[in-house]
Each structure stands twice: as C-alpha cells, then as structure tokens.
Structure 1
C-alpha cells in the first residue's frame, strides 16, 4: 500500500538573513489532491556572529567555505534535534533548503551551505537537501523552486507572491506553471534601514514618512533585469553589484531612500500583474514572506493594482513559514521520486525530481 501521509520538518534560511525557519508539517494526498497542516513552527533569529558569518561567506577561501558548510550543517542538525525534543515529534525526515552563498546559474553555479551529511548526523534523521544543483545542471535557473508547492498546495489563488529577500511570483498560464524573481525587497529595505541602525523598517513606518526621489526611482525602474523575459532569477551577487552602487550614489535622507525603494518594489510587482492578468477578471494575489507585514508596501501595491487583483494576506504562521512548508513538500516529492522542479519555471531542459538524500551514519 502506497504511503500517502508524511510528517516532515522543513528548514529555510533566506537571503534577508532574518534567521532559521523550522516547520513541522503533515502532508497528505487523497485522490491525487494534496493538503497540508502546519503542526509546529519556530523561527530562530541568528546571533550577530552567525549572521555576519553567513553574510561574509561568499568571500571565504575554498577551504574556509567547506569548513563553514560542515559547521553550519551540524548547527542546523542541533537546532532541529532540540525542536523535535521540545515538541516530542515523530518525524519521517528533514528537508533543508540550506543558505545560498552563490547563485549564478548563467555560469552553471548555485551553492547552498549546510552539509546534509552533517545535518543528518547531528539530528540522527534522514535529510533531503540540495534542491537547486540538479536543475542548474540541466540548464535551469535553479529558482524559484516553490512553484510546485504553490501549484499543488495553494492552487486556489491566481498568483502566489513571496516577499522575502527578493520578490518572486508564481501563476499558471496556458496550463503551465510560470514563476520568477521580480525585484529585491527585504534585502534592499534592510540594507537601507541599517544606515539608521535599524534591522528593518517595522510596518514600513520610516518608509512612509519619506518622499520619493524621482531620479532614483527612474534609474531603478530602468534596470535591464526588469525587461528580461522569464525564466529569470536574482541572487545576492546581483544586489551587491547592481543595486548597492546605485543606492550609494544618492546622499539623500534614509526615509526618502526607503520610500523610493518601497514604491519601486510595488511598481515592479504591479507591472508584472498588469502584464499577465486575465482582462476583465479580478485576480487573487496571495502574499507571504516578511514583506507581507510591511503595511506601507502592501498598501502601495494595493493602490497600484486596485480593480485588477485582490490582495490576500493569510494568517501570520503561513506568512512566516510558507517557504519552509514548501521545501518540506519538495522533500516529500523527492521521497516519492516525483517532479519537484518544473522546466516551465526554471528553463531547464526537462522537469526533474531534485534533491540529495543523506542518512545518519
């Protein structure tokens, strides 16, 4: 008899470096229809030292990076083991995204640290991780990866939008799932917030107090990436090489920089929805990720797409843990040897069941 219920821990560490998200989710398939229940969850903020180590990891030597990859995998395993013990959980396996250090698919490179073997040994559970490498090997972007979960778990909505370090969107067109990164979000807003000793701009209060810098808005909106057709994806390197130098040209008050950046984000997202929506129909836009709590950003987006799409913000646990839930689900699909990377999304030469399995030893 085929197994149709799975109890899985999903791990997600995003580019905005907020911390480690841990989800414990029950996934079930009945008559080819998937459903899920988030049973336990926790977000572990990174210590300032670990956050800096992750931030600086792209500058390490090869030897130092391998060592950190192993150390971080062990750290992940210890956090998961404590989570399991605290909540007295019975777990089938762990699915880990890892933390992205390099993502340059045009050069055939994507690299997420957090050694699966070290994670498995430290937790004493089977681990499925490294979901991006195989797709890049087949010529894909290796991103976004969550659209298979959007399609099978959140298919009731016309659009699924995640506002994390970057914004990424997922929708179905001509019976194919389409998804791609749109723009920087929290990576840019947090970078600017740090200039006034804030980790982030709570509810977008500082952003809302500022005023637009027209020349900066025009320069941001003119960036070539926004005129590329999908499949396409963004990485930290793009932000560091393109966005930071552009922002640093302006010696403007931080509230004005934040205001302009927020409106830029809303503009780019609304442009894509206007371009892809079904004319004459009001679409549903389901928003998750940390940016969903930024009132100024959400209200700015609502204003730009009124009469085109209805913004839906779910309960806070789904906002916070959707990506961890969906990487847990990618692990389930890999366990079943079913497709979890879509060529229509990543541009790979074929669909694939991606991920590498590690057993505790």
Structure 2
C-alpha cells in the first residue's frame, strides 16, 4: 500500500523551510519516490524571529511556538494548492529547534503541530515533536535521520549531512550508529554575513583567507571532539565554544580556518571508520571548497546525489518517520541516539 506524506524541515542554518511530498511503499523493503519538493526562504522578519528565539521570554516563546505552527500550516496549504495535490495521507513536521540540551532532559522544536493541522485545511494527521521522547529516554534526541539511512539509503556505507551541523550515520558491528561531527553552516553563514553575504557560495570567501594554525589547533582540541558517540551539538554550544574564539580574527581568516577545521574533523571520522563510499547531502554539499578538502584528506568515494536529495533528504526522512509513527513502527534507533531502547516517537495531532 502506498502512502503519500509531506515532510517539513527547518534547519539551524535558517536557509528556509524545506517541504517534501514523497510516496512510500513497503514491499521486500521500503521504497520511496520524491514527487514534489521545495525550499521556501524565510522572510527577513521570520528569519530574525527564529534566530532570536533563543533569547525570548517564556511567554513570548510560547506565542512564537503557536505562530510558527500556523505559519507552517499556511505554507503547507499553499504548497498543496500550488501543485494541485490530492490524497495526502499525513504531514510530518520537524519544527524549528530553539533549545537542545539532552543532558538536562529537554529539547524544544517550536511549531505546534495542532496549529499546523488547523491551518492546512485538510483533515489528515500531523506528526510532530519527534525528539522529546528520546531525550526523556536518556537519549540525545539526535540524530534521528539514521532510521531513513538504514531503511531508504542502505546502499551507501555512510551518509553525511552538511547542514547547520554535520552529522554522519554508518553501520558498525551490524548496528547503525550516528552522531554530530562539527558545526558547519551555523558558523560559516554567520561569518559570511559579516562580509555582507548570506552564505559562502562554493567556499569562495574561505579560499581567499589564510588559515590561522594556532586557532585551528585550539578548535581541534575542543572537548566535544574527544568524546565518544553518541553525541550531538546545539546552537548554545557554538555561542559558548566557537563564536568567541573566531571574534579575535578577521572574518576571511575565520572562514578559511573554520572550513579547514570542518574538513579535518569529517575526514578523521571517515578514515577512522574505513568508509569506502559516502553520500553527502545538505547545503554544505554545494561548498566545493569544503568538499575538495574532504576528498583530499580521505580515500573514500564521495557521492553527491541529485539536487532533490541534496536539499530535501531530511524533509523526506521526517515524512518517512511520520509514516512509521502512523504504522506504530520503530522510527528512532537507540544505537544512534543513545536512548535506552529503539522506539516509535512523535506526537499525533
């Protein structure tokens, strides 16, 4: 039986809202087909609201939680009307992460699923809040995408996503493990914006900068990189450990240094795990300077897929997680998040 699901994803790099309509069918294994997908850039107003959400009072944050839910619902409604879509079975929404502190037993993705449902105009279930249950089960609440890597992209030895943060998933001793490696666009975009660019296209700005070896060594020595997996990163970590260090040098120098840092951390993981081929997705897959650096530091075959997979793999997998939730099947792997057991997560509105 085929299921039509819409997945919504908003990443920490704030480059826009990803919407993906996909068809899923289980035969001998799960199969998928992306039917329509888009990235809708945020208005300056919405980008600022989401970027500054970490600083809001509790009451203002609760208001934004509702408002953003209605915004998501409106965007889904427009998406459905624009493409004249019919027979949608469900909507799955990741929401937008404001806080992520699993060590304190909480994570918050705003965008109330009930508001999403009220505003879409179609009477189908909305599955949301995929991370909280895992955190309550002593997990990191991240990464969640490995269930999709395991069931939809198993032909690759590893899957690497280069978004706001880089995260990898791979098979180790017959278990799917996954973890965050390092910040990527959350830092690179921040630095590019200091040079009046929204992002560092193709890594062209970083190419012009000179690597600060002392800072590179300092970054590579951060405690997070020495920790065993499972582990995950949040924006708060960057504010504490990364941004203050980069303020001491020029944005160009910082871009060059941090791009090298990302490449070194990713290559180290690829080499340590003897990964033969790796699928790379997310906005960072377009950063040719970064990709070339990774290629130069490893013998792994680097696979950059078609545009719709690069840009919408996460939205696709959250749609898939919604399908699994509605089927009451496991959609979070404890081997990836560190939770006490595999489980079926998400709240249904």
> Could you state the TM-score of these two structures normalised by the residue count of structure 2?
0.98
Distance 1:82 1:192 in 2: 33
User: Which residue is equivalent to 2:117?
Assistant: 120
User: Which residue is equivalent to 2:154?
Assistant: 155
User: Which residue is equivalent to 2:102?
Assistant: 105
User: Which residue is equivalent to 2:249?
Assistant: 251
Distance 1:192 1:59 in 2: 20
User: Which residue is equivalent to 2:129?
Assistant: 130
**Structure 1: runs of 5+ lacking an equivalent:** none
Work out whether 1:348 is the aligned partner of 2:346.
no
1:56 corresponds to which of 17, 34, 52: 52
User: Which residue is equivalent to 2:289?
Assistant: 296
User: Which residue is equivalent to 2:66?
Assistant: 70
Report the 3-state secondary structure (helix = DSSP H, G, I; strand = E; otherwise coil) of the residue aligned with 2:85.
Answer: coil
Distance 1:242 1:213 in 2: 17
Deviating beyond 4 angstroms after TM superposition, the runs of 4 or more aligned structure 1 residues are none
Structure 1 residue 251 displacement after superposition = 2.8
Work out whether 1:324 is the aligned partner of 2:315.
yes
1:338 corresponds to which of 325, 329, 333: 329
Structure 1 residue 273 displacement after superposition = 1.1
Work out whether 1:196 is the aligned partner of 2:195.
yes
Distance 2:185 2:53 in 1: 19
Work out whether 1:82 is the aligned partner of 2:73.
no
Distance 2:16 2:180 in 1: 21
Distance 1:267 1:102 in 2: 27
**Count of equivalent residues:** 346
Distance 2:186 2:82 in 1: 32
Distance 1:299 1:100 in 2: 30
User: Which residue is equivalent to 1:36?
Assistant: 32
Structure 1 residue 42 displacement after superposition = 1.1
Distance 1:117 1:173 in 2: 38
| Deviation by residue 1:98-154 (Cα, 9 ceiling, x = unmatched) | 000000000001000000000000013320010001101100000000000001100
Distance 2:145 2:3 in 1: 18
Distance 2:128 2:249 in 1: 43
User: Which residue is equivalent to 1:357?
Assistant: 348
Distance 1:256 1:238 in 2: 21
Distance 1:147 1:231 in 2: 12
1:189-228 correspondence runs (5 A)? 189-228=188-227
> Could you state the TM-score of these two structures normalised by the residue count of structure 1?
0.95
> RMSD across aligned C-alpha pairs, in angstroms?
0.8
1:154-193 correspondence runs (5 A)? 154-193=153-192
Structure 1 residue 88 displacement after superposition = 1.2
| Deviation by residue 1:231-254 (Cα, 9 ceiling, x = unmatched) | 100001101111111111x233x2
User: Which residue is equivalent to 2:304?
Assistant: 313
Work out whether 1:241 is the aligned partner of 2:234.
no
| Deviation by residue 1:305-357 (Cα, 9 ceiling, x = unmatched) | 03xx1000001111000000010011011011001111111111111100000
Report the 3-state secondary structure (helix = DSSP H, G, I; strand = E; otherwise coil) of the residue aligned with 2:259.
Answer: helix
**Structure 2: runs of 5+ lacking an equivalent:** none
